[in-house]
Every structure is written in C-alpha cells, then in structure tokens.
Amino acid sequence: MTSRRTFIINGSLATAAVLAMPSFAFNMNRKEIGLQLYTLRDEFPKDIKTTLEKVASAGFTTVETYGFSIKDQFWGLTPMELKKILDANKLSAVSGHYGIGSFLADGNTAELEAAIIAAKILKSEYLTIPWVDPPFRQNSDDYKKIAVRLNEAGKMCHKAGLKLAYHNHDFEFENHNGTTGYEILLKETNKDLVFFEMDLYWVVRSGKDPVQLFKENPGRFKMWHVKDMDNLNPALNTEIGSGSIDFKPIFKEAKLAGMKHFFVEQENNFAVDSFKSVKTSCDFISNHLI
C-alpha cells in the first residue's frame, strides 16, 4: 500500500517504531483510504461535484471510478472534467473499473482503448476489469480464454504506462472439474502484466480464506475491496466493523498479499444513508486497521 505516515527515526528508536505499527504500516507516509465510487451510485446523478466533496470530507484520499463508456464517459463528464473535480478535492483516482465491451469474448478493443485513454487522463495506476458476463464463464476452457485476453489487455496497458487488474466476485470460485476459474486466472496470466484486486467480501462469501490465497499466491493482490458482510443476511453488505468479517488478520497480511491500495465498498444496506455509511467505514479503518 502507498506510504501513509512519515517516520523521522534514528538509532534505537527505529526498531521500536517499526514494532509498534501494523505489519504493513511502517511503509506509509500518511493514511490513504480509498472508496469505490460505485458505493455512491445513487448520488452521482444528482450532483457529481458535491458528492466528491463529501467523499473527501469523509476522510478518503483515493477513489476507484466506475461506469465509464465511450458513449457516456463518466456520468456525462469527460475524463478531463472529472480530473479537475478530483484535483480540487485532493482525490486521486488510482484505479478505475472499466467495462471493456466485448473484448473478453471477441477481442474487440474499442472500449478497452478508450478506457486506457481515460485512465491515462485521470493519471490512474490501474485499469481494472470488474466483471465477466455469464455466457463467457461457463467452464474451465472459458476461463483459459479469459486468461489469454487478460494477458493481451495487460500488454496494452503496460505499453500505455498502466497496470491491468482483475476484480473478482464469487462465481470465479465455482468448481470446474477439480479447479476453479480463479485458480485458472492466477495460473495462466502473466504475473508481470495481470494483477488482482481481491474483493474480500466475495472471497469470504464463497467460503474461501483470503489469507490462504495470499499464502498460495504471494504478491498478486495489489488492491483490495474492503466490504463487510451483514451479520444476519450474508447477501447484504454493511459498514466496515459492523459485520461478520474480521479484517484485522487480513490487514496483518497486507505485505504478503502485495497490497498497495484498498477501497471501501458498500453496495446496499446503508445504516442511515450512503454518505454516513462510508464515513463510518472510513473512521473504523483509520482507527482500528491502519
């Protein structure tokens, strides 16, 4: 994860300072807490500028965008227009979720090329693929084809000075003749070109252990979605720290995972409203996890 706190230490104080911090925090210059903007998808159509101002005032310093397309751009804003609003609020769009059209199915690069241009304008580090449509992920052969496409997209992103990432749900963990789609993607993608954004909620929801995946694939998970699970209904989200996922042992293994950035996400079940929920999550992470 990007540095958060600056330590001016020398002599014997160095050892004490390192031991006092969480396992990954000694690298941090300041606290960097990100938000996946999809959390506020009902707010953006009302007022993009005010919504992003509230994101910054809640304590977030980075964001992950969503919803870009050639037709609509970012909710009617060009990438440059969005960049100006982000800059005004000292928010950095280090990653974005980009629908890349039919590329994973047929190799059509039109939307992918437009996404690369948009991500470059935003000065993002990662271009992240958020979803695979059901018809294209039915069996192990489909996942092998997806891996080939991801390697191709990774090369395109690398050439443009970006990194490609893949975001999971739970369907990647379905069994296909003794293996899972996620295992295929991890095995058959180039680790120098294709990185993974682990959605912790969906991993836990699928019955898997994030830390075990870190141990099996060290360094592959450069980004995380930090999304909690409702105590009564696991199909619902809740504010970080209010649900059933224990994030402390997961965050302790951030270095093993290779995590550089993480983003709070909550898709539903807001305690009062979405703004108050993301503020609650940000405060919990700041006070208890980093």
User: What phi and psi values does residue 249 have, to the nearest 5 degrees?
Assistant: -65, -25
Residue 99's pLDDT is 94
Answer yes or no: do 86 and 169 share one domain. Answer: yes
Residue 131's pLDDT is 97
Answer yes or no: do 3 and 65 share one domain. Answer: no
Residue type, 249: P
Answer yes or no: do 55 and 154 share one domain. Answer: yes
Residue 31's pLDDT is 77
Answer yes or no: do 88 and 5 share one domain. Answer: no
- pLDDT in 10s for each residue of the chain, 290 residues: 444 344 333 433 343 433 344 444 434 445 799 999 999 999 999 999 999 999 999 999 999 999 999 999 999 999 999 999 999 999 999 999 999 999 999 999 999 999 999 999 999 999 999 999 999 999 999 999 999 999 999 999 999 999 999 999 999 999 999 999 999 999 999 999 999 999 999 999 999 999 999 999 999 999 999 999 999 999 999 999 999 999 999 999 999 999 999 999 999 999 999 999 999 999 999 999 99
Residue 18's pLDDT is 37
Residue 21's pLDDT is 43
With beta carbons less than 8 A apart as the criterion, state whether 166 and 154 touch.
Answer: no
Answer yes or no: do 24 and 153 share one domain. Answer: no
Q: Residue 168 sits in which domain range? A: 31-288
Q: Render the burial of 108-130: b for 16+ CB within 10 Å, e for the rest.
A: ebebbbbbbebbeebebbbbbbb
Contacts of 261 (CB under 8 A, 6+ apart): 1, 2, 32, 34, 62, 94, 95, 125, 126, 222, 223, 224
Answer yes or no: do 105 and 2 share one domain. Answer: no
User: How many CA atoms does the CB half-sphere of 158 hold within 13 Å?
Assistant: 12
* Token pair of 35 as six digits: 């938000």
Answer yes or no: do 119 and 25 share one domain. Answer: no
Answer yes or no: do 19 and 55 share one domain. Answer: no
Answer yes or no: do 116 and 259 share one domain. Answer: yes
Answer yes or no: do 2 and 72 share one domain. Answer: no
Q: How many domains does the chain have?
A: 2
Residue type, 109: T
Residue 12 CB neighbour total at 10 angstroms: 8
Q: Is the dihedral of CA 214, 216, 221, 224 positive or negative?
A: negative
Answer yes or no: do 225 and 111 share one domain. Answer: yes
Residue 208's pLDDT is 98
Residue 173's pLDDT is 98
Answer yes or no: do 166 and 277 share one domain. Answer: yes
Give 285: exposed, middle or buried? Use CB within 10 Å, 0-12, 13-18, 19+: buried
Domain holding 239: CATH number?
A: 3.20.20.150
C-alpha 35/C-alpha 115 separation (Å) is: 20
